[in-house]
A and B are shown apart, each in its own frame.
Chain A
Amino acid sequence: MKTQTLVELLARGAGPAPRHVAARRLLPAAGFGVLASAALALALIGPIPAALYATAAPWVKLGYAAVLAAAALWLTATLSRPVARPLRPGRAVAAVVAAMGLIGLVALLATPAGERMTALLGHSALACPGNVLALSLPALAAALWALRGLAPTRPHAAGAAAGLLAGALGAAGYALACTETSPGFVAAWYSLGIGLTAALGAIVGPRVLRW
């Protein structure tokens, strides 16, 4: 086949370039991911008592997860294009994690010194990161699948961004099943679970993000 033949074939009837391709692929993946993690959390771990929704506890987690998911979605969309410039969305992600860290720290400092360790570790510190990671797996698969149909040229970074997004969505699902109440707990252990998911994304990225 002559290259000129291919050029003519590609151009003929090509029409305008599709628009908003990243949003059109990533948003449905994110929607699926959050529904899957919520369904799994409610089915496998069970819902928190309804009375807890009258306290700040689940809303802190859901708020953190939602804002982080938005920043991670921006980062993932940026890295889904060739010649990505991820500096600003990367800073946004860092700012969200840092803000949660600060809130957690202030909350811990406001706790009487003798109870700080209990507040930080809660009753499920060891289980939390693993649960967030596990509940993030459907979202991670969906986000990587969505990215595969786009054009990421930095597969480690794009995989990590997809993992960050998936981790935030998994954390949102886990918030519906987690009875911990301390912001310090959320800042430490939710963030660790989300970080683990991002690391997993960075590891599998180069393998699956071939196009």
Chain B
Amino acid sequence: MTDDAVHNDFESGLKPLWLRAQAGDEAAYRDALARIATRLRGYLRRRLQSLPDDVEDLVQETLLALHLQRGTYDPTIPVSAWVLAIARHKLVDLWRRRGRRDDLHDALDDVDEAALIAAPDEGEASRDLDRLLQQLPAAQRRAILLTKVEGLSVDEASQRTGASASAIKVQVHRGLKRLAQLVKTQRP
């Protein structure tokens, strides 16, 4: 198969899942993110050949950004183009922080969706989730642990903590935002 055909396959498999995920289907969201993670790994591995240790960190940073910004997805564009634009933004940001301006010449402007080749092996970043969570303010950490790790519903978490349901949602969102910041700034 050509790169184009691979890409079209990827997009046509992802889009319906993604639209269901946007509407609130959790299983579809998990599936979509897992597919995206695999493709991102391939995309970033190609572009970070000189920084192989950063690949999985950046995959995770991009996934966090995708989640936090999922409200900015516009259904009229391909999901893969949206994903790639965010991945590229994160890549440029990483290069900027590493002071490697020469890499920026790598045609960052064209949305080469075929570049999302698969790299299926399971990745593990160097950061430890527990240690990252330890650095969050207590209310944010608790909201994330209850709803995202223990898997309670927002209402259950609200009953457990005495905080209102909307407060739990806000703490989860802020906590994930803070987590994304930590992931970005605390590279070993």
Whether A126 sits at the interface, judged by CB under 8 Å, is no
- CB-contact partner of A17 in B56, B73, B148, under 8 A: B73
Whether B23 sits at the interface, judged by CB under 8 Å, is yes
Interface size class, chain B: 35 or more
Contact string, B120-150, partner A, CB cutoff 8 A, digits 1/0? 0011110111001000000000001001110
Considering only CB atoms, which chain A residue lies closest to B127 in the complex?
A1
Please, which residues of chain B bring their CB within 8 A of the CB of A17? 21-23, 70-71, 73
Measured CA separation A1–B122 after assembly (Å): 11
Whether A115 sits at the interface, judged by CB under 8 Å, is no
Whether B65 sits at the interface, judged by CB under 8 Å, is yes
Whether A13 sits at the interface, judged by CB under 8 Å, is yes
Whether B48 sits at the interface, judged by CB under 8 Å, is no
The A1-40 residues at the B interface (CB cut-off 8 A) are 1-22
- CB-contact partner of A12 in B37, B111, B151, under 8 A: B151
Measured CA separation A2–B23 after assembly (Å): 26
Please, which residues of chain B bring their CB within 8 A of the CB of A9? 129, 144, 148-149
> Is there contact, CB below 8 Å, between B34 and A4?
yes
Given A13-B147, A151-B69, A153-B85, verify A7-B37 contact (CB < 8 Å): yes
Please, which residues of chain A bring their CB within 8 A of the CB of B69? 82, 150-151
Specify the main secondary structure of chain B where it touches its partner: helix
> Is there contact, CB below 8 Å, between B71 and A83?
no
Considering only CB atoms, which chain A residue lies closest to B168 in the complex?
A13
CB distance from B85 to the nearest CB of A (A): 4
> Is there contact, CB below 8 Å, between B111 and A83?
yes
Please, which residues of chain B bring their CB within 8 A of the CB of A5? 129
> Is there contact, CB below 8 Å, between B72 and A11?
no
> Is there contact, CB below 8 Å, between A83 and B82?
yes
CB distance from A154 to the nearest CB of B (A): 9
> Is there contact, CB below 8 Å, between A16 and B24?
yes
> Is there contact, CB below 8 Å, between B122 and A4?
yes
Specify the main secondary structure of chain A where it touches its partner: loop
The B25-73 residues at the A interface (CB cut-off 8 A) are 26-27, 29-30, 33-34, 37, 41, 56, 59-60, 63-65, 67, 69-73
Please, which residues of chain B bring their CB within 8 A of the CB of A3? 37, 41, 56, 59-60, 63, 122-125
Number of chain A residues close to chain B: CB under 8 A: 31
Please, which residues of chain A bring their CB within 8 A of the CB of B164? none
- CB-contact partner of A18 in B34, B71, B77, B88, under 8 A: B71
The B60-100 residues at the A interface (CB cut-off 8 A) are 60, 63-65, 67, 69-74, 77, 81-82, 85-86, 88-89, 93
- CB-contact partner of B86 in A6, A16, A151, under 8 A: A151
Whether A210 sits at the interface, judged by CB under 8 Å, is yes
CB distance from B1 to the nearest CB of A (A): 25
- CB-contact partner of B88 in A13, A22, A153, under 8 A: A153
Given A12-B147, A151-B69, A151-B72, verify A2-B123 contact (CB < 8 Å): yes
Measured CA separation A8–B154 after assembly (Å): 16
Given A2-B124, A3-B125, A13-B26, verify A150-B72 contact (CB < 8 Å): yes
Please, which residues of chain A bring their CB within 8 A of the CB of B153? 13
> Is there contact, CB below 8 Å, between A83 and B29?
no
Whether A156 sits at the interface, judged by CB under 8 Å, is no
Whether A80 sits at the interface, judged by CB under 8 Å, is yes
For the complex with contacts A6-B63, A6-B129, A82-B86, 12 further pairs of A-B residues with Cβ separation under 8 Å are A2-B122, A3-B41, A3-B60, A3-B122, A6-B60, A7-B37, A11-B21, A13-B26, A17-B22, A19-B71, A81-B72, A82-B89
Closest 4 interchain pairs by CB? Answer: A82-B85, A21-B71, A16-B24, A11-B30
